[in-house]
Chain A
Amino acid sequence: MNEFQRRKAKNRVIVVVLLVILVVYFFPIYWMFSTATKSKAEAFSFPPKWIWKPQFNNFRDIFFTGTGGALGRVRGIEVESKPSAFARQFTNSIIVSFISTILATFLGALSGYVFSRMTVRGKDDLLFVILSSRMLPPVVVAIPLVIMCRALGLFDTRGGLIIMYTAFNLAFSVWMMISFIDDIPKEYEEVALVDGYSRFQAFFKFVFPEMRVGMAATAIFNLVMTWNEFTFALLLTGENARTAIPGIAQSLGTAGVNWGQIAAGSFLMVIPVVIFTFLLGDNLVRGFTFGAIKE
């Protein structure tokens, strides 16, 4: 075997390994989708059916009660069709996650800029304090937070959750943004300052656009963390503001388990994050427009 053939063989092995990894990763998603679109009998048949006639009533049923039951609520009894608990929970998830992601990312970008550029007294200690807010396991802070939320009238409100998630993700956002902003040459804004811009103008006109890449990456992390968060979403909410993740988990066992609807709900939960990541991921790739500085 010469060098060329050896390399070719090596490449083939790599491709095969990657394919195996891909199958392993995507199998749960395939399984969710197949369970959601199979009939109950098909879903539980063993050996599994690889070919079936897909039906989508599970997707319809999780959003509306009265057409066959939403997540184990009403079974078999025809009632007036109205949005289900899952519909509300899904909406909550979207509102809470996106708003808190935007807030945490934006505030993180602003504070990251200050930490990166200005002389802040006690900077290292402050940064440590910020980071330490993420050091405790959530369960430890859960009870005081529940009490605080009740006292402030924020229990079981979307606003309460948004504030919570923003605060939690802010720590991470600040740290992540600092490292991104450190990489942006400070000459950009210094040139602008000398040219006659104020600090604020210089920041928004010249630094902010360069921060896009960092903000996209931070936003993706923030969204994934908020979207999938379980503990606080469960503890800080009741009927009203509950998000879909604890919602789905909760539907287990109340009135039997409707696996088809759970699979449909879980599958739907994957989609917004994937879309968001794809949209911003494009930013990550195209982002770096540096090159106007000679190193």
Chain B
Amino acid sequence: MSNLSITNLTKKFGRTMAISKLSLEVKSGKITVLLGPTGAGKTTTLRCVAGLEKPNEGEIKIDGILINDLPPKERDVAFVFQNFSLYPRYTVFENITSPLRIRGFSREEIDKKVKETARLLHIEQLLDRKPIFISGGEMQRVAIARSLVRDSRIFLLDEPLTNLDAKIREEMRTELKRLQTESGATFFYATPDQAEALSMADWVAVIKNGHLMQEGTPAEIYHQPRNLFVADLVGSPSMNFIPAILEGTNLNVGPGCFVLPLTKEIAQTALGKLSSAQIYLGVRPEDILISREQKEGFYPGEVEIIEPLGLLQIVRLRLDGYFLRVRSEEKARFTVGEQIFFNFKENKLHIFDRQTEERIW
């Protein structure tokens, strides 16, 4: 268990900037998730911490001690690769024990530790097999076991669940969280999957093109996204965005679709921060109310597509040239082409500056 602190980390590959002045704290005993799309620099960040890449600038410290120039084996971190990377010629047992053998543990210690770890990950029955004879989910467990078997200071997990089937992925998500809680280990976890990030993380850092976009608790990231990118990345289905123009205390949405009156507070804040009247209105699908009857303050829209998702359904409404995805309960029956009415939950609107893409409300 250790703290990891990254300051102004910069890594270039030739002329491509992979990470640019990234600063981040990974707290001891917590899961810190690095969330970002492919190519955002997640893997590079992890590799810099592991010592597999040499950063161009910046400091990486574990428990306050600079480790920039240490070779990987002296950093005492564990790395779980996206593709698992088991040694093909070794059995599962040999794979798991390899970090212990090189460290000169005694036979009894090795046996004891492997038994413990294997039980924790439910892979006791696989110990004699070679990696080619086990499934993807099992390979992943073995890879995790190999990193857990020695008590590393920090566990770096690079998209460990990306290559698994949806069902196993969800199981493993819970398992990993349980493992981390039980062992109290420090996880630094990279993933492109926002659901994984929100469900597992104690702390989320969103990155894009090597730049830190926002960091915070999962709730903060979800409810107070700092900009358009974060708002769009987090949440499934993602937030609805419709261009709008601020006209006094009203929003002309579309413009021309409908006019939305704002509270004084919102209008004033917006006016103060905006560079121009051009904005994006952002609303999460669960923050839209729909009804078949025309109610006070509701706007009309046409049902375009209905996606049933079991308990819930996603109703896509067509407005003039735009659409809104709405999460509704399955009991509510709508038909495609029908005209229905919608409104927004109070205080759930987000307003983004169209130029800077920053959220101003």
Contact = CB atoms under 8 A, between A and B. Distances in A.
A complexed with B? yes
B84 A210 contact: no
Given A194-B72, A201-B102, 17 more contacts: A187-B81, A187-B83, A188-B87, A190-B81, A191-B79, A191-B85, A191-B87, A192-B87, A193-B71, A193-B72, A193-B73, A195-B73, A209-B89, A210-B88, A292-B85, A292-B131, A294-B139
A157 B25 CA distance: 66
B120 to A, nearest CB: 19
A289 B136 contact: no
B315 interface: no
A126 B89 CA distance: 34
B98 A192 contact: yes
Interface of A: 185, 187-188, 190-199, 201, 206, 209-210, 289-295
Which residue among B72, B84, B86, B146 has the maximum number of chain A CB atoms within 10 Å of its CB?
A: B72
A191 B142 CA distance: 13
A196 B103 contact: yes
A289 B88 CA distance: 7
Interface of B: 50-52, 71-73, 75, 77-79, 81, 83-89, 98-99, 102-103, 130-132, 136, 139, 146, 163
Contacts of B163: 294
Nearest to B87: A206
A191 B79 CA distance: 7
B124 to A, nearest CB: 20
A194 B72 CA distance: 5
A289 B132 contact: yes
Contacts of B72: 190, 193-194
13 contacts: A190-B79, A191-B79, A191-B87, A193-B73, A199-B71, A201-B102, A206-B87, A209-B89, A291-B131, A292-B84, A292-B86, A292-B139, A293-B88
Q: Which 9 A-B pairs have the closest CB atoms?
A: A292-B131, A187-B85, A292-B88, A195-B99, A291-B132, A292-B86, A193-B72, A194-B79, A196-B73
B85 A190 contact: yes
A194 B86 CA distance: 13
Contacts of B50: 190, 194
Contacts of A198: 71, 73
B52 A197 contact: no
Contact of B51 (A187, A193, A292, A295): A193
A294 B83 contact: yes
Contacts of B131: 291-292
A291 B50 CA distance: 24
Contacts of B103: 196
B102 A196 contact: yes
A180 to B, nearest CB: 15
Contacts of A289: 88-89, 132
Contacts of A290: 88
A261 B72 CA distance: 63
B105 to A, nearest CB: 11
